[in-house]
Structure 1
Amino acid sequence: MTEGKIIKALSGFYYVLSDGKVFQCRGRGLFRKQKVTPLVGDYVSFEAQNEREGYILEVFERKNELIRPPIANVDQAILVFSAVEPDFSSVLLDRFLVLIESKNIRPVIVISKMDLIDDETKPIIERYISDYRRIGYDVIETSITTKQGIDQLLPYLKGKTSVFAGQSGVGKSSLLNALRPDLHLKTGDISTHLGRGKHTTRHVELIEIGGGLVADTPGFSSLEFIDLEAEDLPLCFPEFRALSDECKFRGCMHMAEPKCAVKAALENNEIPSYRYKHYVSFMEEIKERKPRY
């Protein structure tokens, strides 16, 4: 019995990396009985006569998993957001950050297409970058054209399983091609009719880059807070989490409660107003969510 990690799932086959070799495996029938579906990123035990004929015997316990895209045991999420084309969206970034924080996955923010910003856009983008760095996030400014930030990003990948995610058209595949030029991943142009990018990635696959494994995913097909409860949302905002002990009430939701340290920080301009606005919007969305039966 051998152990390895699933790096690709396609057409009923699971491709397992073990000791530098990739084995094509099928799942045993017991997974259907146990209602376990092997995911890319899973650590598994398997048996194989050769590299083309193997069977997965057991899926080991996961430290986390994402449903869309389907991947397990993620160490960090590289959230790629373009400065322009499409325009930078702080509300979309915050939505991604909350989803990633809720899974205890480390986020790294990458701002792409920095070479395309003009004099009017530059101070706006620089303010966002400053805000997120002050919160405690790593923010890397990149450009495929000038190669800015590529060498800075590479060390983050070493020894980690990373997910590249972000809005369509921000240049995820182009960035991966820059990090490992022999990949030749297909890239998509911005659709001028829709104003957004065309999806270029069709399945989840872990690729070796920079001494780690990187998932180029089809993107998050759902950005809804399906599994997130209202009381968990404050924990997904690091700057709120840091202040929560100073609130008068334990378990403060930072909404209507008196003597709330988060609202005091907001009034003193210590927290970006758009972050709190997004928090309130997300809280309302979670509370209005229809219960599942």
Structure 2
Amino acid sequence: MGRWLLRLASLATSFLIVAAMAAVWGWSAFRQPGPLPEPANVVIPRGAGLEAIARQLAEAGVIADTTLFSLGAKISGKARGLKAGEFRFPAAVSPEQALAILERGETVVRRVTVAEGLTSVQVVALLGEAEGLDGTIDAVPPEGSLLPETYHYSWGDDREMLVRRMERSMRETLARLWEGRAGDLPFETPEEALVLASIVERETGVAAERGLVAGVFVNRLKRGMRLQSDPTVAYGIAGGDGLDRPLTRADLRAATPYNTYVIAGLPPGPICNPGLASLEAVLRPAETDYLYFVADGTGGHAFAKTLAEHNRNVRKWRRLQR
């Protein structure tokens, strides 16, 4: 009987020693660098359990052993606190570090940049191609209602909600700038300022010219002169997909509500989504006597105070074109 007890005690001691050695090995392996050769993004879907997460990490090459990862998560008490979303794992990340990343919920921050002067149709197309966004946009937002800038989002964010953020940014920005507008402007509402800013946005891509271009249009509106802006003609004919189309003489005579060669004053709505700089230029335009401008062949424009001076600039531009 005594020998049997000694043998049992010896076996128990051996088992404890083996278990302790296994635990030490497991904990060491849990903290060792993993197999991932280079940084990688992994999307953990909502509702995924611990085993599903472990399998996904193994399939992505982040961890080598799903059992080791799952046991480590359970023993550390972190198994129920793992977040969903897109996560970036560094090269050779250990299972312990991967678990910590999922527990902290440090999801990848994605960006989509809406360039100044895009139409709402173009913005919707851009968001449709943005990787990681979910859902569809039910209707194209009103022209001019979206503020161009860089927007951050996470994997799985809704496209429609991002549009709502863009609309809110435009409303808040326009309201703020309207409060600080210059006096004696030839329009009475923020909406009219938005229309003119959209025209300025499409007329020049040179930052230093925006104030001057806005000043020309403000001067013309004050004098009752037609704006004669080519981008408005293109928008009236082709809408949000045709602002860059070449114009013919017949186009300049086309009877559309947006043809500022034909109509007096502002068109009925914006022709694109103007950026912050164009909004600022319209609400605080450069004080100038210029009434005309034409391309100068360098990407900018030649400005003129009189029609005779403007015609000379036009002739120079035509010679450059030839």
TM-score norm. by structure 2 comes to 0.22
Structure possessing the higher radius of gyration over alpha carbons: 2
Greater helix fraction, Structure 1 or Structure 2? 2
Greater strand fraction, Structure 1 or Structure 2? 1
TM-score norm. by structure 1 comes to 0.23
